[in-house]
Amino acid sequence: MIRDITFGQFFPAKSPIHALDPRTKLVLVVAYIVMVFIGNNFFCLGLAAAFLILVTALSRVPVKMILRSIRPIWFVIAFTAILNIFYIQGEVLLFEWGFIHIYDRGVFTALFMAVRIILVVIGSSLLTYTTSPTDLTDGLERLLAPLKVFKLPVHEFALMMTIALRFIPTLIEETDKIMSAQKARGADLESGGLFSRVKALVPILIPLFVSSFRRAFDLATAMECRCYHGGEGRTRMKKLQMRAGDYWAFGVTALVFGGIIAASILLPRVY
């Protein structure tokens, strides 16, 4: 399960999606999440899914890597679906056993919510798959630049967010190594009740925290050795520049967004 967490990883490739400006990708990811939550029927989700399939195909990110990003959240998806099945009532009763009543509307809503979560997770993962940490920092800093009027440390905030995303795969790999080492020493991490499993995590969490603080200290030392003093006077080797592909991406996304809004208004909603 630990190895299935791929959020924060960057997959280098030459594709139209990789070539987009990071500011474009950040804005479009937010717009995609909004359009998925605005849609209130299956036609909207189908349109959002078709758009996501097109973007995934253009990004040239392996399908296996995309599917791996969904595995860690299967429990959340299943739990959300079960809640909707049992708590939402409808007109047609499909199943009844004791106090359990399952209606057609509950099943449709459960399926709708599950698909919505999957689309949001895949769409968000594509941002880190197709954008390097450096580009992500520059794009986030440029988008948040108007906040400098309020004396907010925009550069430091963008750098902090990017470093956090970058270290997610590193910490996951470190956790996997610590778990393997503890199992080799005879530690039982999978059997027993809930209290026993939580107690068994202590030998994993302590080395993980120590390793995390050590990595943070080493990173801070390396930045000081390279004379890093924040965003003041900082120059960039690559300047961000909008190209024709970025405007095409905005145009296509706007069309899909408009279609989802129209379908949400004209077609009957699921819930």
Q: What's the number of CA atoms in the CB half-sphere (13 Å) around residue 217?
A: 6
pLDDT at 2: 47
The reported pTM is: 0.77
Let me know: does 144 contact 158? Beta carbons within 8 Å: yes
What is the C-alpha separation between 193 and 120, in angstroms, rounded? 33
Helical spans, DSSP H, in 74-193: 74-87, 104-129, 133-143, 154-184
Sign of the alpha-carbon dihedral angle for 147, 153, 155, 161: negative
pLDDT at 131: 87
Query: For 168, left (φ over 0), alpha (ψ -120 to 50), or beta?
Result: alpha
| pLDDT at residue number 260 | 93
pLDDT for the residue numbered 70: 81
Q: Round to whole Å and give the CA distance between 251 and 145.
A: 24
Residues 6+ apart with CB under 8 A from 43: 263, 267
Tokens encoding 185? 């020493």
How would you write the pLDDT of the chain (271 residues) with one tens digit per residue? Answer: 445 555 557 788 889 999 999 999 999 999 999 999 998 888 999 999 999 999 999 999 888 888 887 877 888 888 888 887 777 776 766 667 776 777 777 888 888 889 999 999 899 888 888 988 778 878 888 888 888 788 778 877 887 877 877 777 778 778 878 888 877 877 766 666 667 777 777 778 888 888 888 888 888 888 888 877 766 666 666 777 888 999 999 999 999 999 999 999 988 887 6
**pLDDT computed for residue 193 by the predictor:** 65
